[in-house]
Amino acid sequence: MARPARILSLPGIALAWLLALPLALPLAFAPVSKADAANLSATESGSRVKIRFATFNASLSGASDGELRERLGSRRDDQLRRVAGIIQAVRPDVLLINEFDWDPDGKAHEDFIHNYLIRGQHGHSGIRYRYHFLAPVNTGIASGRDLDRDGQIGGPGDAWGFGRFPGQYGMLVLSRYPIVSREARTFRELRWRDMPGALLPAQTDGTPWYSDDTLALFPLSSKSHWDLPIWTRAGRIHLIAAHPTPPVFDGEEKRNSRRNFDEIRLLADHVSGDTERSAYIVDDAGVQGGLPADALFVVAGDFNADPVDGDSHPGAIAQLLNHPRIQAQPVPGSDGGAESAHRMGGSNLAHRGDPRHDTAVFSDPPGNLRVDYVLPSNGMRVVDSGVYWPLSSEADAELLDASDHRLVWIDVELPVQTPSARRSLRDSVQR
């Protein structure tokens, strides 16, 4: 189990929820099937290994606490079956799911795996994930302050991350490779004001939007930021996962678009390999600094920022797409995205971005956008990529109703490590 996080003293949180620990455990009762084992062997044959990383905002967030857990107890929920069918169609080896409500009891993800993923959906074969990681997030945690300045205290707009209950819009990682859980890092507690040059919002008269006593508690991450080392035959690959706040519900102060920019900046600083640039970063266990300069990584998530369209702060996603340690090419795409933009029209007709690279369907405006990313570090060969967006004439098009986002994936290929190096790495994995 991952190291217990230092508890952040935030008002309005139930003690039981605060004491919840991050989980990164193997599902001992879900052995790898013969089909999955054969697939892993095929992708790890010879001197190189191919691994598929993916991100999917599955929109599996309930309107109230416990709603998703209740739905997962059934095997007949239509949205859950479609979400599982999409995952089964793409078959990622390492998958980040955004908007999967945090369950402190740890049962929700088990029900998702056993009631949906391992059972074939919509003509696709079941898939098993032996390893997972989940941890608390900031959404829905009451601040006790009028953060949105609407004259009232309480409600989702006054939570440290927009949400109706603690853990709404949470994150879940599923992996067919072991997670080095003792070295997993979470950054839920890092204060926004601790980032040098943070884009803290101000009122129209220039005074700060948030008071000093509020900023003393205000976390940068609206959900959380995770650094999860994944053990493969090619060595450690860090999955850097996040879901920055959407740049909406803003006034002239642009508090959400500014926070979105800085949440993405945290990712860029963390993977920079520059000790001075990442010196302000302290994880929830008190460990300082970012990734070492020689680390392999994949940055993934719904970042709520399009390169050229939409309402994100200028240059927000460029912090990653132009990062010297990140491969931004090739750009995952689909024919379905182009078809959708043409069919919907409206704002899409004025967009500057290529609709083949869109990953989400939003109301008009802003229309379809590219907001979901899987970005590998230098040192890995990208052999394939895509956005799961079937054409309307294809059989799986019915699955797309599951979410307003599309699953994005990349295949990376790396040389297999020597047996002695793998043994050394295996010893560090907490089973």
The percent of residues in the chain predicted with pLDDT above 70, rounded, is 86
Q: What is the mean pLDDT of residues 201-205?
A: 94
- Does 18 have pLDDT greater than 70? no
**What is the span of the domain harbouring residue 357?**
15-426
Does residue 307 or residue 20 have the better pLDDT?
307
Task: Decide if 21 is inside a domain.
Answer: yes
pLDDT of res. 198: 98
pLDDT of res. 417: 85
Task: Decide if 431 is inside a domain.
Answer: no
pLDDT mean across residues, the chain? 90
| Strand positions, DSSP E, 176-247 | 185-186, 225-232, 235-242
**Cα–Cα nearest to 98, from 70, 139, 159:** 139
Q: What is the mean pLDDT of residues 242-259?
A: 95
Indicate the pLDDT class of residue 249, thresholds 50, 70 and 90.
Answer: confident
Q: What is the mean pLDDT of residues 259-264?
A: 98
Task: Decide if 295 is inside a domain.
Answer: yes
- Does 27 have pLDDT greater than 60? no
**Cα–Cα nearest to 220, from 172, 270, 182:** 270
- Spell out the residues 6+ positions from residue 402 whose beta carbon is closer than 8 angstroms to its own: 58, 59, 79, 82, 83, 85, 86
Q: What is the mean pLDDT of residues 170-197?
A: 97
What confidence tens digit (pLDDT) does each residue in 330-387 have?
A: 999 999 999 999 999 999 999 999 999 999 999 999 999 999 999 999 999 999 999 9
CA 18 to chain centre: 21
**Domain count within the chain:** 1
- Does 111 have pLDDT greater than 70? yes
pLDDT of res. 418: 73
Task: Decide if 63 is inside a domain.
Answer: yes
What confidence tens digit (pLDDT) does each residue in 127-163 have?
A: 999 999 999 999 999 999 999 999 999 999 999 999 9
Judging by DSSP bridges, how do beta strands 185-186 and 225-232 pair with one another? antiparallel
Of 20-34, 83-97, 160-174, which gets the smallest average pLDDT?
20-34
pLDDT of res. 2: 38
Does residue 152 or residue 44 have the better pLDDT?
152
Indicate the pLDDT class of residue 53, thresholds 50, 70 and 90.
Answer: very high
pLDDT of res. 387: 98
What confidence tens digit (pLDDT) does each residue in 282-329 have?
A: 999 999 999 999 999 999 999 999 999 999 999 999 999 999 999 999
Task: Decide if 131 is inside a domain.
Answer: yes
Q: For residue 116, what is the DSSP state? A: I
Any idea how long the chain is?
431
Task: Decide if 278 is inside a domain.
Answer: yes
Q: What is the mean pLDDT of residues 232-259?
A: 95
Kindly give the residue spans of alpha helices, DSSP state H, lying in 231-381. 255-270, 318-321, 335-344
Contact 63, 129 (CB under 8 A): no
Q: Is the link from the previous residue into 156 a cis peptide, with omega within 30 of 0?
A: no
Strand order in the sheet with 235-242: 185-186, 225-232, 235-242, 297-302, 372-376
Of 27-41, 88-102, 250-264, 366-380, which gets the smallest average pLDDT?
27-41
d(CA 343, CA 34): 42
Here the CATH number for the domain that contains residue 121 is 3.60.10.10
- Does 430 have pLDDT greater than 60? no
Indicate the pLDDT class of residue 17, thresholds 50, 70 and 90.
Answer: very low
Task: Decide if 140 is inside a domain.
Answer: yes
Q: What is the mean pLDDT of residues 109-130?
A: 97
Which helix (DSSP H) or strand (DSSP E) does residue 423 occupy?
Answer: helix 419-426
Task: Decide if 9 is inside a domain.
Answer: no
- Does 220 have pLDDT greater than 50? yes
The percent of residues in the chain predicted with pLDDT above 90, rounded, is 84
Which helix (DSSP H) or strand (DSSP E) does residue 411 occupy?
Answer: strand 408-415
**Cα–Cα nearest to 415, from 380, 378, 374, 376:** 380
